[in-house]
Amino acid sequence: MTRPAPRFLDPTSPPSILTLTLLAGLSALAMNIFLPSLPGMAAWFGVPYATMQLSVALYLLLSAGLQIVLGPISDRFGRRKVVLGALILFLLATIGTLVAPTAEIFLICRMAQAVISAGMVLSRAIVRDMVSDAEAASMIGYVTMGMSLVPMIGPVIGGVLDDLLGWQANFGLLLVMGLAVLWLCWRDLGETHPGGRMGLADQLRSYPTLLISQRFWGYCLTAAFASGCFFAYLGGAPFVGTEVFGLSSSQIGVLFALTAVGYAAGNFIAGRFSVRVGMNRMMLAGTIVTTAGLAVMALLSLAGMIGALGFFGLTIAMGMGNGMALPNANAGILSVRPELAGTASGLGGAFNIGGGAALAALAGALLVPGSSEKPLVLLMLACSVASVLTTFWVIARARQISRS
């Protein structure tokens, strides 16, 4: 009598929370680990800071484009194949960043790294494959809570590695982490959606069904604006830390962790209370928390009373609010057409990341030599206020549907 294969070796079993957490965490880590090194990288390649800051904006832009097709591809061919293929391509691109002789080649390889966005978008779709709408918001909250521990320490480690070994050490760490996650997914990421009979062209033609849904737009815009303040922060905070407050790379890395602390706390709240409170009310609470924190930051900045600790410390509220709002907004996006969870996750992620790319680029353009932190603070506040307004739109639309 043969023994059944251990669950950890069974490619047909659903993945563990740990696997989904690390898969999504690698995607987040690739986005932010090198941020404290941006000024030094600009000096290394002999280019302006704005040019090197494109490694954030262009990465986000390509991530948005890839998510448009990665979701439907995973709906057609299955989640596991797409995830494993994306991880292999990510490793090749990471090697390219390490050997790039010029800023132009580095940026090309950096853009290719965006294929790891499959980890973020498909981890959400896999959750939706496994559980119902209400449980999805809670489970996504727990996954992203654990995921936030990875990017929380990423900038800290990245800043220390930059000070000790140079910026290349950050991408070396991404290479090692990518290999580890590839091995884990190969062993544990069972297929949760084997693929449908609908062809890829038919999958893409399903987009209009989503695009005419007011619920889909409401959730998408809330997610885009809520995370938009964070993406603007990613694009501008390294400049503010270095040029406005005179901090070192390692100091900026430590202060970046404060946002992730808030994000982890917000994810815990979402995971614990989303089923009881409801997606829409939890979204509203999260967007209000973010807006309140950024409003205090704006008042202190306009009064000339803010320092490095105040600027970075108040982003804890932004992290907490996003941690509460985003899991529920993403669960709402997936709930519009559950049979097209991958497509909806990809399209929603494209709007989210595409808007983030634009805001990161705008933050870089606003922060010219001699600038203060004020343009960045006001941009972040404007995004957060917009997320509150779109959440009220979602709630109003839900009430209309319930009455009809």
Question: Residue 9: inside a domain, yes or no?
Answer: no
Contact call for residues 325 and 218 (beta carbons, < 8 A): no
What is the chain's mean pLDDT, rounded? Answer: 82
Residues 6+ apart with CB under 8 A from 330: 124, 137, 140, 219, 223, 345, 348
pLDDT tens profile 319-342: 999 989 988 888 888 777 766 666
Q: How far out from the chain centre does Cα 381 lie?
A: 19
Q: Looking at residue 275, which CATH number applies to its domain?
A: 1.20.1250.20
The total number of structural domains in the chain stands at 1
Q: How far is CA 305 from CA 98, 292, 301, 309, 389, in A?
A: 41, 17, 6, 11, 29
Question: Residue 345: inside a domain, yes or no?
Answer: yes
Q: How far is CA 359 from CA 54, 119, 125, 181, 195, in A?
A: 12, 22, 26, 30, 35
Handedness of CA 185, 187, 189, 194 (dihedral sign): positive
- Asked if residue 12 has pLDDT above 60, the reply is no
What range defines the domain where residue 126 resides?
16-403
Q: What is the DSSP letter of 212?
A: T
Contact call for residues 265 and 49 (beta carbons, < 8 A): no
Looking at per-residue confidence, does 243 or 213 come out higher?
243
pLDDT tens profile 26-50: 887 887 788 788 888 888 988 887 7
**How far is it, in rounded angstroms, from Cα 375 to Cα 363?**
8
Assessment of whether the complete model's pTM goes beyond 0.85: no
Residues 6+ apart with CB under 8 A from 246: none
Question: Residue 179: inside a domain, yes or no?
Answer: yes
pLDDT tens profile 130-148: 765 556 666 666 666 655 5
Question: Residue 106: inside a domain, yes or no?
Answer: yes
Instruction: 85-90: list long-range contacts, CB under 8 Å, 24+ apart.
Output: 86/115, 86/116, 86/117, 86/118, 86/119, 87/116, 87/119, 87/178, 87/181, 87/182, 87/185, 88/182, 89/115, 90/30, 90/115, 90/116, 90/178
Question: Residue 46: inside a domain, yes or no?
Answer: yes
Question: Residue 299: inside a domain, yes or no?
Answer: yes
pLDDT tens profile 263-302: 888 988 887 888 788 889 999 999 999 999 999 999 999 9
Question: Residue 336: inside a domain, yes or no?
Answer: yes
Contact call for residues 128 and 334 (beta carbons, < 8 A): yes
- The angle subtended at Cα 173 by Cα 169 and Cα 178, nearest 5°, is 150
pLDDT tens profile 356-397: 767 877 887 788 778 889 999 999 999 999 999 999 999 988
Question: Residue 5: inside a domain, yes or no?
Answer: no
